[in-house]
Amino acid sequence: MNSEIKPESEKSLNFIEVFVEEDMKNNRFGKHIHTRFPPEPNGYLHIGHAKSICLNFGLAQKYGGLTNLRFDDTNPVTEDVEYVDSIKEDVRWLGFDWGDREYYASDYFDTLYAYAVKLIEKGLAYVCDLSVEEIANNRGTPTRPGVESPFRNRSVEENLKLFEEMKNGKYKRGEKVLRAKIDMASPNMHMRDPILYRIIHEPHHRTGNKWCIYPSYDFAHGQCDSLEKITHSICTLEFEVHRPLYEWFIKELEIFPSRQIEFARLNLTYTVMSKRKLLRLVKEGYVNGWNDPRMLTICGLRRRGYTPASIRAFAERIGVAKRDNIIDIAVLEFCIREDLNKTAPRAMAVLNPVKLTLINYPEGKTEMLKGKINPEDENSAFRDIPFSKHLYIERDDFMENPPKEFHRLSPGKEVRLKYAYIIKCVDVIKDASGHITEIICTYDPETKSGLPQANRKVKGTIHWVSEPHALKAEVRLFDRLFLKENPDEVDEGHDFTENINPDSLKVAEALCEPSVDGARNLQSFQFERIGYFCCDKDSTPQQLVFNRTVTLKDTWAKISGKM
């Protein structure tokens, strides 16, 4: 090894990319790859799905292939078109395009039925009359072999007849199932005569009443991959034990040999990820719906102000591997700050106001000051910010008896009002209970931004808004939904809801500079020195509403917290 800088093309690969490159080199699938994203339309997509979406679409992009969107809709009991639409919207919003390759497992029901018949004819599948309980009991346990079904050795003819009768609706749910005939003593539970078809007298969101038997996941997923000529079928670790079955079907059905590769699903600190728990948060009213900005659903993140680019960057940054992982939520927050810092227009807003009056500034005068819309952008345009005698500043930016580390306003001290003047506190007015109601300052006209005197050193710079020009806005201050890194860490008999943060949402009235007027839904701003905020869909011209996406890094909070 020498110290040469590695070119981009030699950047390290994740283990899936290693497999793909090996396969390409060995010509396993020819010169191209083809992936798929296979959601079940029974819930909303979350950040964990985003990882999978970025992985599947990202791989295809990298190696010049295509990605299909395929709905795994083999269970009409739980699935619905409502979810199909939201899933498509979310994938598209994330920035991925599946072209015209929108497929459904239900598109293949006829073929799947024919595959089942083929297995019966080969003597590899049989109709079983055992009840749910009996099948479960006969399956054994991971450490104890199962026992064979008494119906295991029916003739091919009888199986064919019975299976057709199942399809024709002759039997009720639970009366019969079609099972593969593999090995009831296999150490792998999934090989113990798995169920291929079950009877469900329920209309399907796409096939209506055509079918009353539906294929199981194992009998549908892999075959759909195969029918679509998917080269690399990427799924999460819990399907690893299904892989022998996946490959058994490919072999016995003699179909296109898609390759299943498993990776570790995403976990994040201070949140829950399972569909079941997310559903409870919604159903039990801990949050206001699936798109509540505190939810790590794609639609929740969108409403919170996360951008597609930030989520893609996150997926890239966390990597892919097979070991269980818990990603620090700070990584996600870093990614959105990184993006918004470069793109979000700046504005000043005061969230917790206290009045400030400039005694030597003319009453009734208004000046228009200039502020860069985005200082990160060299070519940034300017915005107009009105200034007057009567202002509001952040209550936290004033301290009567400050420690020496405090760089803001205090009696007798100077501070800069951003884009405006250097001011000096000369008096403090309090009410009967000692609560500060107004801060009295003088301003130095020589220090207006742009003037030579403005370059004078001062300890700090604070934001402000002009009282007569301020725009009121509702701000929704979101914080993490759970108090513990691992919300599932609870005492016996309790559950994760115990760890919900009671202060995950605080609503305040902010006073904003006029440039935020007319903000559109999903439009992001940086409220200077505070954080990134995004206009909510509840916002109207009469009542602006902003969601706090994430705070700015707050070094002062860290310092003051230690004191």
Please list every residue from 158 through 187 that binds RNA, using CB under 7 A. 173-175, 177, 187
Binding-site string for RNA from residue 431 to residue 470, where x marks contact by CB under 7 A and - marks none = -----------------xxx---xx----xxxx-------
Give the residue with the Cβ less far from RNA, 190 or 304: 190
Is 304 annotated in the active site? no
**Catalytic residue of the set 265, 280, 395, 484:** 265
Q: 39 to 98, contacts with RNA by CB under 7 A?
A: 40, 72, 74-75, 77-78
Q: How many residues lie near RNA (CB under 7 A)?
A: 97
Q: 102 to 121, contacts with RNA by CB under 7 A?
A: none
Burial code (b: 16+ CB inside 10 Å, e: under 16) for 182-198 equals bebebeeebbbbbbbbb
Chain CA centroid to CA 415, Å: 41
Is 40 annotated in the active site? yes
Q: In angstroms, what is the minimal distance from the CB of 391 to RNA?
A: 15
Distance CA 265, CA 55 (A): 12
Token pair belonging to 558: 């860290």
Return the range that interacts with RNA (CB under 7 A); candidates 84-92, 93-101, 399-407, 425-433: 399-407
Q: In angstroms, what is the minimal distance from the CB of 381 to RNA?
A: 14
Q: 120 to 149, contacts with RNA by CB under 7 A?
A: 130-132, 135-136, 139-143
Q: 312 to 341, contacts with RNA by CB under 7 A?
A: 317-328, 330-331, 334, 337-338, 341
Q: Binding RNA by CB under 7 A: which of 419, 482, 533, 546?
A: 419
Distance CA 40, CA 205 (A): 13
Token pair belonging to 207: 């096939």
**Catalytic residue of the set 88, 229, 275, 372:** 275
Sheet holding 349-350, edge to edge: 346-347, 524-527, 531-535, 544-551, 471-478, 505-512, 349-350
Token pair belonging to 56: 């599947």
Give the residue with the Cβ less far from RNA, 3 or 27: 3
Closest to 392 measured CA to CA, from 369, 417, 373, 368: 417
CB atoms within 10 A of CB 209: 10
Is 276 annotated in the active site? no
The identity of residue 58, as a single letter, is G
Q: Binding RNA by CB under 7 A: which of 5, 7, 9, 12?
A: 12
Q: 195 to 214, contacts with RNA by CB under 7 A?
A: 195, 198-200, 214
Task: Give the dihedral sign, CA 46/275/295/240.
Answer: negative
Q: 506 to 545, contacts with RNA by CB under 7 A?
A: 526, 528-529
**Catalytic residue of the set 17, 40, 164, 498:** 40
Secondary structure of 267-290 in HEC code, one letter for each residue: CECCCCCCHHHHHHHHHCCCCCCC
Return the range that interacts with RNA (CB under 7 A); candidates 112-120, 226-234, 349-357, 373-381: 373-381
Q: Which long-range contacts (CB under 8 A, 24 or more apart) does 192-195 make?
A: 192/139, 192/140, 192/146, 193/128, 193/146, 193/148, 193/149, 193/152, 194/218, 194/219, 194/245, 195/135, 195/219
Distance CA 37, CA 277 (A): 23
Return the range that interacts with RNA (CB under 7 A); candidates 57-65, 437-445, 471-479, 555-563: 555-563
Give the residue with the Cβ less far from RNA, 74 or 233: 74
Q: Binding RNA by CB under 7 A: which of 376, 489, 495, 509?
A: 376
Q: In angstroms, what is the minimal distance from the CB of 180 to RNA?
A: 12
Q: In angstroms, what is the minimal distance from the CB of 531 to RNA?
A: 9
401 binds RNA (CB under 7 A): no
Q: In angstroms, what is the minimal distance from the CB of 181 to RNA?
A: 16
Burial class (CB in 10 A: 0-12, 13-18, 19+), 407: middle
Give the residue with the Cβ less far from RNA, 184 or 471: 184
Alpha helix segments (H runs only) across 319-414: 329-343
Give the residue with the Cβ less far from RNA, 1 or 507: 1
Return the range that interacts with RNA (CB under 7 A); candidates 48-56, 215-223, 282-290, 509-517: 215-223
Give the residue with the Cβ less far from RNA, 29 or 419: 419
Q: Binding RNA by CB under 7 A: which of 100, 238, 431, 491?
A: 238
Give the residue with the Cβ less far from RNA, 400 or 538: 400
239 binds RNA (CB under 7 A): yes
Distance CA 12, CA 177 (A): 48
Instruction: State residue 428 phi and psi, 5-degree precision.
Output: -130, 130
CB atoms within 10 A of CB 45: 25
Q: In angstroms, what is the minimal distance from the CB of 500 to RNA?
A: 22
Q: Binding RNA by CB under 7 A: which of 48, 101, 118, 188?
A: 188
385 binds RNA (CB under 7 A): no
Return the range that interacts with RNA (CB under 7 A); candidates 80-88, 294-302, 405-413, 500-508: 405-413
Give the residue with the Cβ less far from RNA, 259 or 463: 463
Q: Binding RNA by CB under 7 A: which of 80, 85, 102, 405?
A: 405
Using the structure block, give the residue that is written with the tokens 């113990």.
192
Chain CA centroid to CA 533, Å: 18
Greatest CA separation found in the chain?
Answer: 102
Q: What is the DSSP letter of 144?
A: B
Asked if 382 and 371 touch (Cβ cutoff 8 Å), the reply is yes
Question: Would you call 20 helix, strand, or coil by DSSP?
Answer: helix
Give the residue with the Cβ less far from RNA, 28 or 173: 173
Give the residue with the Cβ less far from RNA, 154 or 337: 337
User: What residues are labeled active site?
Assistant: 40, 265, 275
